[in-house]
Amino acid sequence: MWTFTLVSADTVETYFDSHVDLLQRKLQKHSDRLKMKAEETFKLKDLSGDALAENFDREFKNFKVKVSSRMTKLSASWQSAKVVRTREKVSFFVGVMTLLVSALMFGVAPQWIHILYTLLGCYLLPLRYYQYKKRAWHYFLFDLCYYVTILNFVYIWFLPKSPALFVACYCLSHGSLASAVITWRNSLVFHDQDKVTSLYVHIYAPFTFTVIRHFYPNAEARFPALVDLPHLQPTRALLLSGGIYVIWQLLYWKFILIDRRSKIESGERTTSFSFLLNDKRGAIGKTLSSVPPRYREAFFMGGQLVYAVLTELPAVFLLYDSSLWSGVFFITIFGVSVWNGGGFYIEVFGRKFERELEALRKELAESTARSGLTTPGSNHHSNHSDSELSSLNTSPVMTDGLVLSPEVSPPVPDSSKKDL
C-alpha cells in the first residue's frame, strides 16, 4: 500500500510538472509576441497622424527627386554617347571610303586625284574651322600647313602656268607637311575626325604633287608649268620655297604674335608656339625654356626655317627626278601614319578596356564582401567569376567608346603638333 502511494505521488508529480512547464513556455511565447506587438504599436503611435504623413511625403519626394535626377543623367549620357557614336561612325566611313577611292583613282584615273584633293579640302577644312572657332583654337589655323594647302589650291586652279609657285608648293608639300607625319606622329585613326583631317592636310598634298609630277597622264597639258621644269635647280628651288616660307612667317609674326599678343599671353588663345613652350616634357619645350624670353620667338622662327629647308632636301635632290623613290617616300610616311594609328587603337583602347575590367573586378569584389557569402557554392561562384575576368584580361578583345578622349586643361587639338 505504501509503495502504491509513493508511485502514484511520483506519477502525479511528473504529470503536473511537465504540464506546468509546457504552460509556462506557452505563456512566455505569448508574452514575447505581445511585447513585439506593443513595440510596433508604440512605433506606429509615434509616427501616427501628421508626423507619419509628413515623413511619408518627405521620403516619397526624396525618392522622386533621386529617380528624376538619375533618369536625367542617364538620358543625357545616352544622348551624348549616341551623338558621339554617330559622329565617329561618319568619320570612320569617310576615312575608309577616302582611302579606298584614292587607291582606286590612283590606279585607274590619276588625273582625278587633284580634284579629289580639292573636294576633301572643301569638306574637311571648313568643318575644322567651325570646330576650332567654337573652341577658341582657331589660331592654329594660321600654321604653315594650312598656308601651304591654300597655295596648293591656288596653283592647281588659278596659276597652273607658274613654275615658281609649282616649285614652292612641291617642295613645301614634300618637306614640312610630309615630315610632320613622322615628326609629330600623325595617326590614321578613322573614327577620329580631327586626326583624319590632320592626316589629310599633311599627307594628301605630297600625294597630289607626286601624282602630278610622275603619274599624271600628259601632265604638261593640264599643268603647263611642268614644261619649264624637267629638273629642279636646287638653289633656285630652296630659295623659292624659303621665300614663300619667310612671307608666311612674317605675316604670322605680325598678325598673330604681335597684334594678338595680349590674348595669347592671357591664355585666352593658344598657338603652336605657346603650346610648345608650355610643353616642358618635350625637347622643343625644354629648349625654348632655356632661351631668354625676349629671344624665344626669333629662335623659334629661325628653327622652323632651318627645319623647313632640311626636310625639303630629299624632294629637291631625289624625289623630283625619281618616281620610284617618290613612291617609296610616300609609302614610308603613309606606313608611319598607319603604325601610329595601330598603336592608338591597341594602346588607348587596350588601356581603356583594362581600366574598365579592373573597375568591374573591384565592383564584384566589393559586392561579394558586402553580401558576406561564405557557403561553398558562393565561394565557387566567386572563384569562377575571377577566372572568367582573368581570361578576359588576356583575350584580344577591343572595346569601342569614347574618347575619348580624356581632356586636359586646356585641351590641345591634334593639328597643333605638326609644324616646326
Give the span between the Cα atoms of 331 and 318, in whole angstroms.
Answer: 15
The confidence score (pLDDT) of residue 25 equals 62
pLDDT single digits (tens) 402-417: 333 333 334 456 644 4
Q: For 378-394, what is the mean pLDDT?
A: 44
Q: For 237-249, what is the mean pLDDT?
A: 95
Looking up cell 609629330, which residue turns up?
184
Query: Would you state the cell numbers that stand for residue 259, as one nine-digit string?
Result: 597684334
Query: Would you state the cell numbers that stand for residue 318, as one nine-digit string?
Result: 631625289
Q: For 189-195, what is the mean pLDDT?
A: 91
Q: Which of 189-203, 215-229, 251-265, 360-374 has the lowest mean pLDDT?
A: 360-374
Backbone angles phi, psi at 111, to 5 degrees: -70, -5
Query: Would you state the cell numbers that stand for residue 174, as one nine-digit string?
Result: 614634300
Q: Which of 37-46, 196-205, 235-244 has the lowest mean pLDDT?
A: 37-46
- Report the mean per-residue pLDDT for the chain: 79
The confidence score (pLDDT) of residue 41 equals 52
The confidence score (pLDDT) of residue 26 equals 59
- 267 sits in the region (left: phi over 0; alpha: psi -120 to 50; else beta) called left
Q: Is 201 exposed, middle or buried (0-12, 13-18, 19+ CB in 10 A)?
A: buried
pLDDT single digits (tens) 269-324: 888 888 777 777 777 778 888 888 888 888 989 999 999 999 999 999 999 999 99
Query: Would you state the cell numbers that stand for residue 267, as one nine-digit string?
Result: 591664355
